[in-house]
Structure 1
Amino acid sequence: MPRFRMTVEYDGGPYVGWQRQENGQSVQGALEDAVLSLTGETVTIRGAGRTDSGVHALGQVIHVDLARDWSEHQLINALNAHLAMAGERVAVIDARQVPDTFDARFSALRRHYLYRIVNRKARLALDAGRAWWVPKPLDHMAMHEAAQTLVGKHDFTTFRASQCQAASPVRTLDRLDVTRDCDVIEIRATAQSFLHNQIRSFAGTLKLAGEGKMTAEDVRAALEARDRRACGQVAPPDGLYFMQVDYPE
């Protein structure tokens, strides 16, 4: 059976998250339903990461094994047609046949995420559901300085959800940069893998740094405390985007 790697984007708002669940439609379920409608095959689609309800993606990577050897162009167009007919907020933007040794999750070298904050007094209209609205002024340079204390290999117990199922809280954070363009503050994070709610926990804590309520040393102390209570609020899912996955090419 040929294996296909695909890149998909989605609006996470209508979904219970990436992973198939019984309490509502998931992104995984939407894609599996589209494959079933197109081919008659019941498949299990594997993703590079499990995003929560409300989290968006521009570059989620999946793989699936299909009985037929589709051309890449045909497969993209046919799946998108079925997704559109079902009213799903998911699109396939790239597809290619790969060796059966490829695994969307386990072959990944790095994952890249973006968290968007719109920092202005006026409420959001176009960006509602697409960013975290913070009306109080934030110092993005203070946020970036605090973020650098988190880069590297650490025990990130402070910044993971209490229900996180990862065997270890130790991760290596390759990048955590904070930049600003007018009213939009962007937090970009890169690592091989992340813990549950890790980036949203970073964003909530860095917001406190931007408000002057925490210093860089306070953020370092929160990390070293290895205590969830030392973390700032978990930022809402609206501003989080799964941007890209790197693989050996």
Structure 2
Amino acid sequence: MALNRYLLHVSYIGTNFHGAQRQVVGTFPRKDDPSTVQGQLEIALKQLNSCNEPIIALSSRTDSGVHALNTTCHVDLFRANGLHYEPRTITLCLNKYFKKHEVPIRILKTFIVPNDFHCQHKAVSRTYLYRLGVINANALNLAPHLHLLPIEELQRCHFLCTDTFDGEKFKLNAKLFEGLHDFRTFMGRGSHELHKMTRRLVHRAEVLDGKSLLYGPYSWPSVMPGTCQDYKFYDVYVQATGFLYRQVRRMVASLIAVAQGKVSSSDIKLMLEVPSHRSWNDKIKTVPAHGLYLCEVEYSKRDRAAFRDSLDS
């Protein structure tokens, strides 16, 4: 039997998962863990009837409630006849299982990769998106706005109801995070561990005007005229070589605090220049997970050249 390694491109809605990484630990045979993305992937892979127990390696570990538009993982599979599984067969088999069992995971693409390829260690960058919806609290009464949150956006976007939000400050201050910085202050936990490497190179930190996921003539705000202009959407993109625990959510929270006038640009600079858990400004509240999406895990051109999407390629 020959070992064959496969790279899976995966998307999922993280609302009901307890994170991407499996939580149930133990010795062989491992117990199933349907509460995590990794656990569900391993359960689905058993449908292929490989000679080995499929064990997924994740490229990125997202928290509970975080979504993924396109992330990656790899798995080694042994087939009795020593041949490869056709990548398309793996994609179709897993998606058929997820659809049947109503699991919010989809396989976008499967590749055959070299046996020494590692989806986490070979990644050159990761890109996250945070979706923010700002509600103008002064436009109408506060209660109607809170009641009119569109169902299409439920657990897909973080909504902030405020009468003080400077969109230009929100956009301009994002650039403070670009470059090589020590992000220890922005760690959700572990900032006391002095041995931990907390320097990260941020290639991109950018805020763009966003839009709602609303669609169709019968959806909000079509049936609620006069409210659309009171909702402003922003997309915050952050691309880096890697991230610390809750780093992106704390970065976005800092930008929101600046836009609301709770902290200044100098406060953000201080947290970057004096990396410590003591430097975190208590006026800043970490934004919730449901607005965060892992968009892409990138690999070098050289590694991508070795990916095979069929047995004939």
Coarse TM-score class (shorter-chain normalised) = over 0.9
| Partner of residue 138, structure 1 | 165
Query: SS where residue 6 of structure 2 aligns?
Result: strand
Distance 1:39 1:120 in 2: 51
- 1:38-68 CA-to-partner distances (Å, cap 9, x unmatched) read 3254221111100000000011111111123
Instruction: Give SS of 2:123's match.
Output: coil
Question: Residue type of the partner of 1:218?
Answer: D
In structure 1, what is the Cα distance between the partners aligned to 2:292 and 2:120?
Answer: 19
Asked if 1:233 corresponds to 2:260, the answer is no
Q: Kindly provide the CA deviation profile for residues 92-142 of structure 1, in whole angstroms up to 9, marking residues without a partner as x.
A: 011111111211100000100000001125342211101111111532321
Quick check: which has more Rg, 1 or 2? 2
TM-score by length of structure 1 reads: 0.93
Residue in 1 aligned with 2:88? 73
Count of residue pairs the alignment pairs up = 249
Amino acid at match of 1:110: S
What's the CA shift for 1:32? 0.3
Structure 1: 5+ residue stretches without partners: none
Aligned equivalent of 1:32: 42
Superposed CA RMSD in Å reads: 1.9
Percent identical? 29
Give 2:242's aligned residue.
193
TM-score with structure 2 setting the length: 0.75
After TM superposition, the runs of 4+ consecutive aligned structure 1 residues lying more than 6 A away are none
Cα distance in structure 2, aligned partners of 1:106 and 1:37 = 28
Which of 46, 60, 67 in structure 2 is aligned with 1:56?
67
Deviation at 1:24, TM superposition (A): 6.5
Letter in 2 for 1:191: A
C-alpha distance in 1 between matches for 2:34 and 2:270: 39
Which of 217-226 and 191-200 deviates more? 217-226
Question: Aligned in 2, Cα 1:185/1:240: closer, same or farther, shift over 3 Å?
Answer: same
Whether 1:150 aligns to 2:177 is: yes
Q: Residues 1-249 of structure 1 correspond to what in structure 2 (within 5 A)?
A: 1-22=3-24, 25-39=35-49, 41-68=52-79, 69-121=84-136, 122-123=145-146, 124=149, 125-136=151-162, 137-163=164-190, 167-181=196-210, 183-228=232-277, 229-230=280-281, 232-249=284-301
One-letter amino acid of the structure 1 residue matched with residue 49 of structure 2: T
